[in-house]
Every structure is written in structure tokens, then in C-alpha cells.
Amino acid sequence: MKITIVGTGYVGLVTGTCFAEMGHTVLCVDNDESKIKMLKNLEMPIYEVGLQELVAKNVAEKRLSFTTSIQEGTEFAEAIFIAVGTPPGYRGQANLSYVEQVGRQVAESMTDYRLLVEKSTVPVNTGEQLKRTIAKYLREDIPFDVASNPEFLKEGTALEDAFKPDRIVVGVESERAGTLLRKIYQPLIDKSGCKFLQMNIASAELTKHASNSFLATKISFINAVARVCELAGADVEQVAHGMGLDLRIGPQFLRAGVGYGGSCFPKDVDAFVHLADQLGYNFQLLKEVQHINKTQREFMMQKIQHELWVVQGKKIAVLGLAFKPGTDDIREAPSLYFIPQLMEAGAKLRLWDPIAQENFNREHPGLKYYDTPLACAEGADLVLILTDWPEVKELDLAKLKETMRCPVIIDGRNTFNPQTVKELGFTYESVGRP
């Protein structure tokens, strides 16, 4: 089948590539000329393991191509997936101007039936608004449908998630739209055995909000438990393990740390709170989830201050700038909270990240970067771990101690066994562990 994808960010590019690999013929549209130029040269605008190879393969096999023309995209396929950005706007609600713009442009170019599928994370009732926009800008009475098909992939494991989804959720309001989406996904359903859930549009939109907010709640819950563990002399890792073995709870997303970041959870929880407020429900639980996430970082900052007493002039080696391992994405990363604060307090910062250095340098130029965690830690008064990259987990701790001025580690990701690190002579502070 032919499919058009508008937007070549994480969601759009990965979805498009996945559809092509499934055997469909996919045209990816983006109004950013430099991105399309890069993609035509088989250079990736984002970092994702295995993506470049898969894009190159599908381009070579003529199932994947790129354009800046939305008109070409509209003519190309019956199903048009919208995967453009929905950045946070005024007071936390999602800015839907890019979604609206695509709706308008498709409506103006349409000559035959089209199905517009929301793939970006959008507030409930966006489908309704999109329908109204398309109807308004259509030149003649052409049939069309709107559907919601939220994406659940994670950065860093995007391809794996796209090929092995837990479920496919589609929200439709016509049989034609439902059948078309089912047909598009059939090869993936056959291969992965995943469930295909068909519901109304508002329910599909809410499924995405509720899923991300629930995962963020799990993280804030375990971070709050970690705070109690520190007060009670308990170990949050053991508590999380004990909880996670209960099948009703499950072990995932119970890792305590410096709090959640990234382009999704902070923005989506914010948008859900705002949306609920607008609809007339005060989602106090999620407001507390946000509060815990914020104070978790402040709490770690206090640990640094407590350890150093005076931050001014101290050499601090920061290991990890990306919001999690496996990505160069620094959006809402903990590093963006800690580094400006430590700079302001007069610390001499030394930074390391295997792939996110370039992105971070764009936001905070002029800082010093090092090629390895060990080089970064040379002469440091304190090492601060913000991303649990494999290179950090595999650090030779004896060498680390030798190279540092003072062997102090503040570990925001519970990377090491506290006993081992302490036996080596480090002062070690992590999250929720005695």
C-alpha cells in the first residue's frame, strides 16, 4: 500500500521506515528543506540505533522516499499520517499549529478521499478540530476521514518498539477508516502477533495521554518511595524488586533516579493536567507527580551542596547529558537543570556524553567536553552521574579514584553497588539506598 507520513522527527521517520520495511511504499514529507536534503543523502537528522541502515535499505529498494511538498504527499497516498511536532505552548497546553497547518494544506490539495491519521501526541478532541478544519478548507465536497493512531515507541529502542508493539490503538469513526488502518497494519499484526484495538477517536487520544501519565506516575511514585527509604534506612532497589514481581504491578518504570525527562513525559503530563483542567477536572494526582519530579532534582542538588560545602571553584565531572542512554536527545534532560545551576554557583564543569555533546554545546556553548568518562573525571572534586550509559556502568572504579582529586560520586541513576564503591574508598551518594 502507499502511505504518506508528514513530519520526519522520531515518530514520523521511524514509523515511515517501519511501514516501508513491512512492504508498503512510503513518502515522507517535511517542510524543513535541510532535513529532507539530509535524508535524501541518507544522513539521519536524529540518532537512533539501526535507523540509518534501515532507511538506506528501503530507499535502495524504492519503498521509501522524501519530499518537502505536502501537495505531492497528498496526491501520493490515501492514508496520510500526521507526525509533526506538538511542542508545549502557553501554560503547558500542546501547541497544535503544525497539526492544523497540515490539515489545511492537505484539504487544499485533496482531489479524492483521504484518511488523515493523527500520529503525534495530541489532546483529546484534536480529531474533532482537525475534521472541522479540513471541512472548512476543502475546495469541493470530497469525502475524508480523520483517525487517531497514537505511537508508543521509546527513543533509543524506537525500531525495536515499532516492530514489536505491545498493542496498536486506532480511533476511527467510519468503517472505511478502520478497514484501511487494519490493512496497513496487517503485516505487522501477522508478524508480531500484537493486538489491534479499534475504538472511537477520543478514546484513542486519551489512551496515549493516560499511558504516558501513568508511566510518569510510576516513576514519581518510586522516587517518593526512595525518599522514604533514605529516611528509613531501606533500599529502594530491593523494594522495587519486591513490588515488581507482583504481576499486577510489574517491574518496569520503577527505577528511582533524578526524575523523568525527555520530549514526552514532562510535556505530556503537563498537557494532560491542562486538558483535564479545561474539561473541568482538577487532576491533583498528576500535579503531585510533577511536583515530585521537580523536587527530586532539587534533592540531588542538595546532596551535591552538602558534599562540597562550597561549590565555588570545585571541579565537577558530569557524566551523561542525554535524558537517557541510547539517544542524543537532551530535551528536558536533567543535565539542563544541574549544569546551569552549578555554573551559577561557580563550579568548574567538565562534561562527558558519548553522543549528546554536540546538542548540549548548541544550548550551552563554551563548556569543556572530554572523550571518555575517565578523562572527564581527571582532577575532579566530585563526579555527578546523570545518564547511566554503558561506559559509565563499566567504569574502572579503581582508575576513577586514582584520577580524581577527591573520590566523591553523586549518582543520580543508581549505577553502582553502594557497598563496592564504598569499599574502594569513595564517598558515594545515590537515590534511595542506604
Task: Catalogue the active-site residues.
Answer: 264
Task: Check: CB of residue 413 under 8 Å from CB of residue 390.
Answer: no
Q: Does the protein bind ligand UGA through residue 154 (CB under 6 A)?
A: yes
Q: Does the protein bind ligand UGA through residue 357 (CB under 6 A)?
A: no
Q: Does the protein bind ligand UGA through residue 261 (CB under 6 A)?
A: yes
Distances in Å between the alpha carbon of 400 and those of 287, 373, 403?
Answer: 40, 9, 5
In this complex, which beta carbon is closest to ligand UGA, that of residue 102 or of residue 219?
219
Segment near ligand UGA (CB under 6 A); pick from 75-83, 147-155, 336-344, 365-373: 147-155
Q: Does the protein bind ligand UGA through residue 292 (CB under 6 A)?
A: no
Region class of 256: left (phi > 0), else alpha (psi between -120 and 50), else beta: beta
Q: Give the nearest distance from C-beta 268 to ligand UGA in angstroms.
A: 6
Nearest CA among 110, 162, 115 for reference residue 140? 110
**Which residues between 206 and 245 bind ligand UGA (CB under 6 A)?**
212, 215, 219
Q: Give the nearest distance from C-beta 182 to ligand UGA in angstroms.
A: 21
Q: Give the nearest distance from C-beta 416 to ligand UGA in angstroms.
A: 17
Residues 6+ apart with CB under 8 A from 149: 81, 117, 118, 119, 168, 169, 170, 171, 181, 204
In this complex, which beta carbon is closest to ligand UGA, that of residue 114 or of residue 297?
297
Q: Does the protein bind ligand UGA through residue 264 (CB under 6 A)?
A: yes
Q: Give the nearest distance from C-beta 271 to ligand UGA in angstroms.
A: 11
Locate 215 and state its grid cell.
Answer: 508511566
> Taking each helix axis from N to C terminus, what angle separates 265-279 and 201-232, rounded to the nearest 10 degrees?
120
The 3 state secondary structure assigned to 367-378 is CEECCCHHHHCC
Mapping DSSP to helix (H, G, I), strand (E, B) and coil, where does residue 109 land?
helix
Q: Does the protein bind ligand UGA through residue 323 (CB under 6 A)?
A: yes
Distances in Å between the alpha carbon of 405 and those of 41, 314, 316, 398, 410?
Answer: 47, 10, 10, 13, 15
Q: Does the protein bind ligand UGA through residue 262 (CB under 6 A)?
A: yes
- Among positions 255, 314, 315, 350, the unique one binding ligand UGA when judged by CB under 6 A: 255
Mask of contacts with ligand UGA, 73-112, x by CB under 6 A? ----------------------------------------
Count the alpha carbons within 13 Å of 23 in the hemisphere toward its beta carbon: 9
DSSP string computed for 336-354: HHHHHHHHHTT-EEEEE-S
Task: Check: CB of residue 319 under 8 Å from CB of residue 376.
Answer: yes
The rounded distance, in Å, linking the Cα atoms of 139 and 112 is 11
Q: % helix / strand / coil in the chain, to the nearest 5?
A: 50, 15, 40
Residue count of the chain: 434
Q: Does the protein bind ligand UGA through residue 337 (CB under 6 A)?
A: no
- Residue listed under C-alpha cell 576513577: 400
Q: Does the protein bind ligand UGA through residue 253 (CB under 6 A)?
A: yes
Q: Give the nearest distance from C-beta 388 to ligand UGA in angstroms.
A: 8
Segment near ligand UGA (CB under 6 A); pick from 64-72, 152-160, 191-199, 417-425: 152-160
Q: Does the protein bind ligand UGA through residue 260 (CB under 6 A)?
A: yes
In this complex, which beta carbon is closest to ligand UGA, that of residue 63 or of residue 218?
218
Segment near ligand UGA (CB under 6 A); pick from 12-20, 45-53, 92-100, 257-265: 257-265
- Among positions 4, 17, 105, 121, the unique one binding ligand UGA when judged by CB under 6 A: 121
Nearest CA among 410, 407, 411, 412 for reference residue 424? 407
Segment near ligand UGA (CB under 6 A); pick from 23-31, 258-266, 284-292, 311-319: 258-266
The site for ligand UGA, by CB under 6 A, has a size of: 21
Q: Give the nearest distance from C-beta 64 to ligand UGA in angstroms.
A: 21
Q: Does the protein bind ligand UGA through residue 266 (CB under 6 A)?
A: no
Locate 153 and state its grid cell.
Answer: 515507541
Nearest CA among 158, 385, 365 for reference residue 258? 385
- Among positions 19, 81, 185, 265, the unique one binding ligand UGA when judged by CB under 6 A: 265
Footprint of ligand UGA on this chain (CB under 6 A)? 121, 151-155, 212, 215, 219, 253-255, 257, 260-262, 264-265, 268, 323-324
